[in-house]
Amino acid sequence: MFMEMRSLFHFWFLSTGLSSVLELHSAVVSSVLDILLKPMSWGISIEWGQTFPFSHAYFPREQSDLLVILTGPLSCTSFVHLVSYISGLVHLDKTRTSHSSQKNLQLQPSKGLVKYNSVWSMIMNFPVWFSFATTLLFHREGSQDYLSETLSKEIIAESISDVSLAQRAAFYLSWVLWPSNDDQCQMLANNILELSHSWARNNKKRPSYHTSTVNHRRELRIPTAGDSEKLLVPTNPVSSLIKIFDDRRVKLFSATAISQVEAEELSDFRPSCHNLLHLWILLGVLLVSSSCVNESCDMLLRYTSTGQVLESNEVHIKTKDHVGNDGFAASCRGIAERWALSGAYLIFGWLDIVEDMSSVIFDCEDICHRFVSQLRTKTGPYLLKCVKLLLEVLDEADQDRDYVIDLHNRLLNWNKNGQCCEAFKDVILQMNKKFNLPL
C-alpha cells in the first residue's frame, strides 16, 4: 500500500505540478518513517513496534545508502556526502548513455517523466535538504544570525570552504529542479552560483557602519544612500538579488512560472497550487541573514510566492480595488485572491520545513525555538496581509472557501501552540464569524 501510494502521489505531482501534492507526499513519507523509528510516540506498543520491518524495506534496496543520508543528521558534512552520491550517479548515467542510446531512467526523467522509485523521486520526499541547500548557497563568512553561527562553527571545525559548499548547493538545487537535461542543469547551476557570488559581493561592499574618532571614542553612524552610491552598491541588496535572479532567467526551466502579464490574462491561474519551488531559492537569504531583510521582506515573500517582481517603492502602494492591502497591485479580484492564497501557503509550508530542519540542526531546543520564532515574526506581517485580503474578497459561497478553512485550521494550530499574536487571534475570530467555522 505504501509503495502504491508513493507511486500515485509521484505521478500526480508530475502531471499537475501541484505543490500541495508534493507537500502531502513528503508528509506521508516522513510520518511512516517516524512511526517505524519511534512507534511508541505514536501510541504503538513495544511488542507491536518490534514486529515492524526496518525503514529500508519500504524503499528500493539499491537506495539504502541514500536513505541513510537523507534520514541522517542535517549538516554540511552530510550535504557533501549527499552531493557526492548524486554526482557519482550522474557520472555513471553519462557513462551508460555513451555506450547505449537508452537513458538510465532510475536516475533521470525522460520526456518529463521519471519513475517513482528513482533517486530524484526519493530526494523530492525530503524537502528539508532543498532548504538547507539554499542556506549553504548564501552563507558566507561574516553572515550573522542563529543559523549562520551554527554553520560557521561546523565549517571551521571540518575545514570546509563556504565557497565549495555554495558550489555544491548550486549543483544540488539545479539537479533537483531540472534533472532531465544535463546542459540546462549546468547552465542553471552556473546562474545560481553567480547569484550567490553577487550576494556575497554586495554584502561585502555594503557598509554596515562607519566610525570616526571623537575624543578617542568610536561613533556609530547609519549608512546613507550616498555612501552606497560611492561604493556602487545598491541601497537595497534584496531588491538587487531579486532582479538578478529574474533577469538571468533562472526560472526558465519551469513551465509553471508564468509572468505577471500572462497571469493577469488567465482568470483561472492559481499560483498557490502550482510548483514554484525554484523561487524558494531566494528564501535562503532569509534563513542565514534575516537581519539584512527588513523592509524588503514583503518584496521577497511576494516574489517567492508568485514570481512577480515588486519594486521597493511599490510595497507601500494601496490599490483602489483593495484599499488597505499594501502591495497587492492586482487588476481584478480573482488575481488578488490568488496572490493572497499563494503567499499564505508559501509561509505556512516553508515554516513547517524550517521547523523540521532547525530541530535537527540546533543542539539547543531554546535556540531552535528562538530561530523559528524570529522567522515567524519576520514573515508574520505578510501572512496577516494575505489572510486579511482573503477575508475581504471571499464570501461564504466562494469556490475557494475550502482554502480558507484550511488556513483557519493552520492558524488555530499556531494559536494552540502559543505562536499567534493578538492580530492573528482577531483574524481567527473574523474567520469564525464570516464563514461559520468552529473554534
CA distances, 5 to each of 18, 49, 247, 254, 399 (Å): 16, 22, 39, 26, 28
Q: How many CB atoms lie within 10 A of CB 235?
A: 15
In this structure, is residue 37 part of a structural domain? yes
CA distances, 36 to each of 20, 56, 69 (Å): 24, 10, 17
Choose among 246, 256, 188, 204: nearest CA to 19.
256
In this structure, is residue 276 part of a structural domain? no
Beta bridge partners of 113: 110
Q: How many CB atoms lie within 10 A of CB 3?
A: 12
pLDDT at residue number 383:
93
pLDDT at residue number 351:
93
Choose among 273, 295, 254: nearest CA to 349.
273
In this structure, is residue 186 part of a structural domain? no
Write down the number of H helices and E strands in the chain. 19, 2
- For cell 539499491, name the residue: 62
- For cell 477575508, name the residue: 391
Interval 129-152: pLDDT, tens? 999 999 999 997 666 678 888 899
DSSP 316: T
In this structure, is residue 81 part of a structural domain? no
In this structure, is residue 9 part of a structural domain? yes
Q: What is the DSSP string of 247-274?
A: HTTGGGG-TT---HHHHHH-TT--TTTB
pLDDT at residue number 391:
84
In this structure, is residue 168 part of a structural domain? no
Interval 147-187: pLDDT, tens? 888 899 899 898 988 889 999 999 999 999 888 777 778 88
In this structure, is residue 413 part of a structural domain? no
Choose among 388, 378, 370: nearest CA to 430.
388
CA distance 358 to 364: 10
pLDDT at residue number 252:
56
- For cell 517567492, name the residue: 304
Number of folded domains that form the chain: 1
CA distance 284 to 291: 13
In this structure, is residue 342 part of a structural domain? no
CA distance 151 to 160: 10
- Domain, as residue range, for 21: 1-58
Q: Are 340 and 328 in contact (CB under 8 A)?
A: yes
Rg (CA), the chain: 23
Q: What percentage of the chain has pLDDT greater than the value 70? A: 73
- For cell 543559523, name the residue: 147
pLDDT at residue number 310:
66
The grid cell for 215 is: 575624543
In tens digits, the chain (439 residues) has pLDDT values of 898 999 999 988 888 878 888 889 999 999 999 999 889 999 999 889 888 888 888 888 888 999 999 999 999 999 999 999 999 888 776 665 555 544 443 444 433 456 788 899 999 999 999 999 999 999 976 666 788 888 998 998 989 888 899 999 999 999 998 887 777 788 889 989 999 998 888 776 554 433 333 343 434 444 444 443 443 444 678 888 888 888 776 545 444 333 443 444 433 333 333 467 888 999 999 999 887 787 789 999 999 988 887 665 554 433 333 334 444 444 455 677 888 888 998 999 999 999 999 989 998 889 999 999 999 999 999 999 999 888 887 766 566 677 888 888 888 888 887 777 788 888 888 888 888 777 6
The grid cell for 390 is: 482573503
pTM for this prediction: 0.81
